[in-house]
Amino acid sequence: MLTYTIRRLILTIPTLIFISFVIFLIVKLSPSDPTANLPLTIPPEVREKIRESLGVNQPITVQYFLWLKQFFWLEPRIFLENSFGWDLGTANETRLISYATRSPVMDLIWERMPQTLWVVGTAYVVGILIAIPIGIYSAYRQYSFFDQAGTFISMVGFSVPPFFSGVLVIVVFSVLIPTDSFWWLPSIYDTTHRVTDWESFKFQFRQMIMPVMVLALQITAQISRFARASMLDNLNQDYVRTARAKGVRERGVVMKHVLRNSMIPVVTVIALGIPGIFGGAIITEQVFKVNGLGQLLIIAIQGGDVPMVQTLTFIFAILIVLFNLVADVLYGLLDPRIRYD
Amino acid sequence: MTDTSLELDKPSRSQWWYVWVQFRTHKGALVGAFVFIFILLGVLIGPWLWPYEATAIDIRSRNQGPSWAHPMGTDQLGRDTLARVMIGGRVSMAVGMTAMFIALLLGTLIGVLAGFFQWLDGILMRLTDLFLALPLLPLLLVIIMLFRETLSASFGPEGGIFILMVSAIGITSWMQTARIVRGDVLSLKEREFMVAARSIGTRNSRMMSRHILPNVLSPIMVSATLGIATAIITESALSFLGLGFPPDFPTWGRLLRDATDFLQQYPERAIWPGLMISLTVLSVNYMGDGLRDALDPRIRGR
Amino acid sequence: MNYRKLLVGAAVATALTPLAHADGHSGERGRDGQVNIIYWQAPSTLNPYLSGGTKEVESASLVLESLGRFSDTGELLPWLAAEIPTVENGGIAEDLTSITWKLKEGVKWSDGSPLTAADAVFTWKYCTDPEGGCAQASYFDGVENIEAVDDLTIKITFSGPKPFPYTSLVGAESPIIQEAQFKDCLGAKAPTCTDANFGPIGTGPFVVTEFKANDVVQFAANDNFREEGKPAFATVNFKGGGDAAAAARSVLETGEFDYAWNLQIDPTVLAEMESKGKGTVATAFGTSVERLHINQSNPDPSLGDERATVKHPHPFLTDSRIGQAMSMAIDRALIVEIGYGAGGQVTCNVLPAPAVYSSTANDACKTQDIEGAKALLDEAGIVDTNGDGIREKDGVPLSVSYQTSTNAVRQDTQALIKEWWSQIGIETELRNIDASVFFGGDPASPDTFQKFFADVEMYTNNFAGVDPEAYMANWRCSEIPSPDSQWQGSNMQRFCDPAYDALVDKLSQTAGIDARAEIVKQQNDMLMNSYSIIPLVHRGGVSAYANSLGGVQISDWDSELWNIKDWYRIK
């Protein structure tokens, strides 16, 4: 398993470089333009000057290699300088600059990280914590009232998109409930809020309730379905009958044998979702004005901000590749019979 | 061991007959199938029977609540909501189902191949990583820029967009299924019955169709149900961004999104399309449950 | 924090007693606590020279100021200047080739250093640096030199007579920046000065305390602001993100915010929200007109590279009678009612404001006349010959494609117009395109508004400031986009008339508001009579403010927040 992991890690480098090139081609080819969102009062010749100063018109390979150099060579050094106070001689080099803000891409990403992790990350943890028990119990008592209700709620929850459910909870908790009520919740997330004491933590908690719940609903619906299906498959296997026959307690059968064997699809889905935490949740972030990485990405896409889209998508790609590797390693731990070599 | 009962049945007709018998006993599946067929007929035949056109504007009767003339009310331009829900359903159902089938076929194929054949695993999974990493919106902008004109020329503006949407949603949503199926196959491959099957010299193709596929059916069914909902919603997000169907062309996702702004004044406007999406997804889910139970020889006869 | 709160509280308490009863809004600086503003599109930088977007310009206008600003009525007010130079007071040279501004005395930057004429000169150099890609470069068009005559006197020399010289360093788009802060940021170095771009030092009522790009800006009152007791607010929370409906809701329904900008949402929804009694919807009209451009060239794909170029005139839309019929069939009042509400007015002119320039010759279009349109087409011999319900001209069916950017109101308008045109026998195919592509101008994309690969397109355009000279020059023959010019150009509908070009030249030589107005009206009417451009709605900026917010005067001629120094909390 160790050699497999090391081999896979080495293999990720060419994979990621190839992915970065494909992403770059797509982002460059797509017809949006960094000056598109400017008012029409700005004349075309000025727009052309702006494009030139951004370097949009340079040959595509030049731009790609510049990006590669900045992302893999310059930015890591700057990160080291900032964390350890070293001097690696980066002062005179041009950093990876976003077209829209004309400021370093990586700084913006770091700035967005906290709120994204807080909201989307919490939602993910909450979602998983709710989903797995529901999945287990629904499968164990298949077609019981609990199972039917769980199926119904998760399916409806999954088919109602967040652009609707988000507005719905805002209308209920921010508009219909009066502002001075205990149940009132803020509809706009304050990204400048800092948790320093109990009071500020309470505020943070309140402003996170709605976005976290809306996101967690989707995550719960999805994971609980996979957990249930996989549990059902395993509950009917011979080894379960054998274990029961051997006199293992029911609790032990379900929690030890069945659960462990059912986790493979669940682990896959969770691993696929974790990069999504960093990708942010575009619609939910927009509805609640969380302004995390998802909002950064969508604004960059709409504004034709190539360096930003490229960098964000590529970081996303790194996480996808890494977490899929983690999932593969976990398969081996969950089911020692799985071998890759 | 699991398939001995099937092996003994001679013609395939009787095999499917058994499946049908089993399916019929599943109450949820029957209700699901009934609702699904009802919706399907409604969106296919309904628009012919209903007197109002989905795009006909009648300014005098705008923003009306439900009445006998307009059972689901009218929108801000006086268009009949029932007519729009029916026409919109055609597109949403078609996009949802087709995209789901593409995703399922591709996902299952790639997942099974990658899980079963060691030498294919690396390349297929790196391909999956690549597709997972592709940014959907810029990708669609590129696809639409490159292919819209040619497709519109050969299939008409709506047909062209339909093909674009379905294939774009389809080819960008198979990865999850593929990874889940592969994970399951990796584990199945090492189970006793597989080892037994291999030891008696079963051919690979037969191993896959007889032993692997039936056993990965349940995650596939879940992916399918979730896939329909995702496809319908993705379509709405895309047409909202101007990447989808012509603006006066309703789809369920689009109707729901348009209704969100009017949530406080006319909540029913959001309920209808929302209900249709939920019902479709629920009915497919129950049909999937029934089908899975019916195909599972261990449950059969219980 | 608490200490500060205490201070503010004490200040309010003392301020209330002597003055408050008079008008309730004068007293100590920073007495009214925080004001919350929501712009659903958040500013990406606070340097308006690096990004010309409205959101950047308006958020920066809290900090950066210019020589003069336009009030809500379009009147030019001296801001950093002591007075507005005119020919009469000798500020403008007789031959119209130079203008001399005098700065107010004693104006300080927020860091305490004095504002001098050198800063103005530097601003000009900063924006005109060839490698800087300055978004507001057009404000310095025709400027030959800007010099500091003395510390408080700025002389701007033009390369030729400039009948309307109030563009450079006037209005929110071209404010004065501090030389000391930006002196190392010229040209290609501009993006390296992130701290300066995100936190410019200004002369305005507020200073930046925290800036998060595309998210939120926090401002605090400027201790060195030149006006006593202003601003009334100690801090400004300038939040971005979400959409227009959510922004409106946060002011009009939940009361979390005090001011929301650009609320183009369904008028019935907005009216419903306003009826909750928490806030007020206000509209400011500038020069924005939602219009249809009628393509005078043929966009047929089979023409290949010569598609939508002047080499191939449109098979039927060059006939102004068809354009006229299309215009007559439209019920503009209904479009306003359904899509714009208080945020729109019916207009029949591409140039509806300022009042002195607006023509009344075309007002017949204000009422819909379907029968008249049909009669006009019948009379012209454009009738339905094959019985399919669509008229033909010389055998070509009147079937048009109609494109616009993606936006709920535009899609409703499209649906309505399609319906009306079908009533007069014109078939319409609708398309909507993502705004970033449509307005993007990427020469590789077929879907840009410059390429105009459709028969009709709809969008809004306007001009900044109050002088229409440059705007009316958009429709010169030489402005027609074509492959040779990389599809750059502002004459979208490919209108070309030598008589029109002559008027453009005449306008650039004419001084005096009345004479200029005469020419502008002629130009407007000429465009209208060609029916190559069909104005629909005169659009205003729609904003909402909480009822507890006083002093708001929304202007569409300048930054909406132009007078934020005068805002206060009604108690």
For chain C, percent of residues with pLDDT exceeding 70: 95
Mean pLDDT lowest among A47-51, A99-103, B38-42, C250-254: A47-51
Nearest Cα neighbor of C101 from C157, C46, C45 is C157
Q: Are C214 and A289 in contact (CB < 8 Å)?
A: no
Q: Are A101 and C45 in contact (CB < 8 Å)?
A: yes
Q: Domain holding B107: CATH number?
A: 1.10.3720.10
Q: In this complex, which of A39, A43, A289 lies closest to C241 when CB atoms are compared?
A: A289
Nearest Cα neighbor of C272 from C296, C252, C292 is C252
**Per-residue pLDDT at C316 exceeds 90:** yes
Mark out the alpha helices in C97-146 (DSSP H runs).
Answer: 117-128
The distance in angstroms from the start CA to the end CA of chain C is 23
Specify the length of chain A in residues: 341
Contacts with C408 from chain A: Cβ below 8 Å: none
Nearest Cα neighbor of C67 from C91, C51, C83, C88 is C83
CA distance C186 to C123: 10
pLDDT for position C198: 92
**Mean pLDDT computed over C468-489:** 86
Mean pLDDT of the residues in chain C:
87
Q: In this complex, which of B149, B242, B265 lies closest to C433 when CB atoms are compared?
A: B242
User: A151 to each of A205, A221, B82, B223, C509, how far by Cα in Å?
Assistant: 29, 8, 28, 14, 76
pLDDT for position C11: 36
Mean pLDDT of the residues in chain A:
86
Nearest Cα neighbor of C456 from C291, C335, C328 is C291
Local confidence band at C296 (pLDDT 50, 70, 90 cut-offs): very high
pLDDT for position B14: 65
State the DSSP H helix or E strand holding residue C420, giving kind and residue range, or none if neither.
helix C408-423
**Domain assignment of residue B3, yes or no:** no
Local confidence band at B5 (pLDDT 50, 70, 90 cut-offs): very low
User: B229 to each of A166, B175, B178, B239, B252, how far by Cα in Å?
Assistant: 17, 16, 18, 16, 11
Q: In this complex, which of A44, A192, A296 lies closest to C214 when CB atoms are compared?
A: A296
CA distance C274 to C66: 34
CA distance C137 to B95: 48
Contacts with A175 from chain C: Cβ below 8 Å: 249, 253-254
Cβ partners under 8 Å of residue C187, min gap 6: C129, C130, C131, C132
**Domain assignment of residue B182, yes or no:** yes
Mean pLDDT of the residues in chain B:
82
Of residues B147 and C520, the one with the higher pLDDT is C520
Q: In sequence order, what are the beta bridge partners of C155?
A: C100, C147
Quick: pLDDT tens for B138-167: 787 778 777 777 777 777 767 787 888 888
CA distance C109 to A326: 55
**Per-residue pLDDT at C23 exceeds 80:** no
Q: Are C405 and B141 in contact (CB < 8 Å)?
A: no
Query: Are the CB atoms for C564 and C205 separated by under 8 Å?
Result: yes
**Whether B270 contacts chain A with CB within 8 A:** yes
pLDDT for position C18: 37
**Per-residue pLDDT at A122 exceeds 80:** yes
**Mean pLDDT computed over C472-481:** 89
**Mean pLDDT computed over B10-25:** 72
Mean pLDDT lowest among A64-78, A241-255, C430-444: C430-444
Nearest Cα neighbor of C279 from C564, C561, C552 is C552
Quick: pLDDT tens for B179-198: 999 988 988 888 888 888 88
Local confidence band at C24 (pLDDT 50, 70, 90 cut-offs): low
**Per-residue pLDDT at C202 exceeds 50:** yes
User: C389 to each of C316, C421, C424, C479, how far by Cα in Å?
Assistant: 17, 11, 9, 37
CA distance B252 to B240: 12
**Domain assignment of residue B58, yes or no:** no
CA distance B136 to C139: 39
**Whether C411 contacts chain B with CB within 8 A:** yes
Chain C nearest-CA distance from A89, in A, is: 16
Contacts with A324 from chain B: Cβ below 8 Å: 125, 128-129, 132, 179
DSSP 8-state secondary structure symbol assigned to residue C115: P
Taking only residues 53 to 92 of chain B, the set having a beta carbon closer than 8 angstroms to any beta carbon of chain A reads none
Helices A198-235 and A259-279, packing angle to 10 deg: 140
**Mean pLDDT computed over A298-311:** 86
CA distance C338 to C219: 38
Q: What is the CATH number of domain C287-466+528-539?
A: 3.10.105.10
Query: Are the CB atoms for C146 and C95 separated by under 8 Å?
Result: no
Tally C-beta pairs within 8 A across B and C. Answer: 73
Nearest Cα neighbor of C299 from C457, C531, C430, C533 is C457
Domains of chain C, residue spans: 287-466+528-539
CA distance C31 to C235: 10
CA distance B229 to B253: 10
Q: In this complex, which of A158, A269, A313 lies closest to B133 when CB atoms are compared?
A: A313
**Identity of residue B294:** A
Chain C nearest-CA distance from A128, in A, is: 27
Contacts with A34 from chain B: Cβ below 8 Å: none
Q: How many structural domains is chain B composed of?
A: 1
**Per-residue pLDDT at C465 exceeds 80:** no
Local confidence band at B240 (pLDDT 50, 70, 90 cut-offs): low
Pairing of strands C344-346, C533-546: antiparallel
User: Rounded to a whole number, what is the largest CA-CA distance in chain A?
Assistant: 83
**Per-residue pLDDT at B300 exceeds 60:** no
Query: Are the CB atoms for B125 and B191 separated by under 8 Å?
Result: no
Chain A nearest-CA distance from C4, in A, is: 17
Nearest Cα neighbor of C260 from C275, C242, C272, C286 is C242
Contacts with B149 from chain C: Cβ below 8 Å: 301, 446
Q: Are C429 and B243 in contact (CB < 8 Å)?
A: no
Nearest Cα neighbor of C169 from C99, C87, C221, C72 is C99
CA distance B34 to B279: 11
**Domain assignment of residue B55, yes or no:** no
Quick: pLDDT tens for A137-192: 998 888 889 998 988 888 888 888 888 888 899 999 998 888 888 889 988 888 88
CA distance A192 to A203: 12
Q: Residue C303: CA atoms inside 13 Å, Cβ hemisphere, count? A: 15
Q: What angle do CA C557, C563, C567 make, to 5 degrees?
A: 140
pLDDT for position C376: 93
Local confidence band at B6 (pLDDT 50, 70, 90 cut-offs): very low
Q: Are C419 and B145 in contact (CB < 8 Å)?
A: no
Q: Are C191 and A291 in contact (CB < 8 Å)?
A: no
What's the complex ipTM?
0.84
Cβ partners under 8 Å of residue C567, min gap 6: C35, C231, C232, C233, C549, C550, C551, C552
Tally C-beta pairs within 8 A across A and C. Answer: 195
Quick: pLDDT tens for C43-69: 888 999 988 788 889 999 999 999 999
**Whether C243 contacts chain B with CB within 8 A:** no
**Per-residue pLDDT at C337 exceeds 50:** yes
**Domain assignment of residue B301, yes or no:** no
**Domain assignment of residue B17, yes or no:** no
Chains linked to B by 3 or more Cβ pairs within 8 Å: A, C
Closest residue of chain C to A166, computed from CA coordinates: C246
Q: If you average pLDDT over each of B71-85, B161-175, B182-196, C418-432, which comes out highest?
A: C418-432
Contacts with A272 from chain B: Cβ below 8 Å: 132, 175-176, 179
**Per-residue pLDDT at C459 exceeds 50:** yes
**Domain assignment of residue B22, yes or no:** no
pLDDT for position C3: 36
Burial C91-111 (b: 16+ CB within 10 A, else e): bbbeebbbbbbbbbeebebbe
Local confidence band at A280 (pLDDT 50, 70, 90 cut-offs): low
**Domain assignment of residue B176, yes or no:** yes
For residue B241, the enclosing domain spans 27-50+79-295
Helices (H) and strands (E) in chain C, counts: 16, 20
Quick: pLDDT tens for B197-222: 888 888 888 888 888 888 888 888 88
**Per-residue pLDDT at C135 exceeds 80:** yes
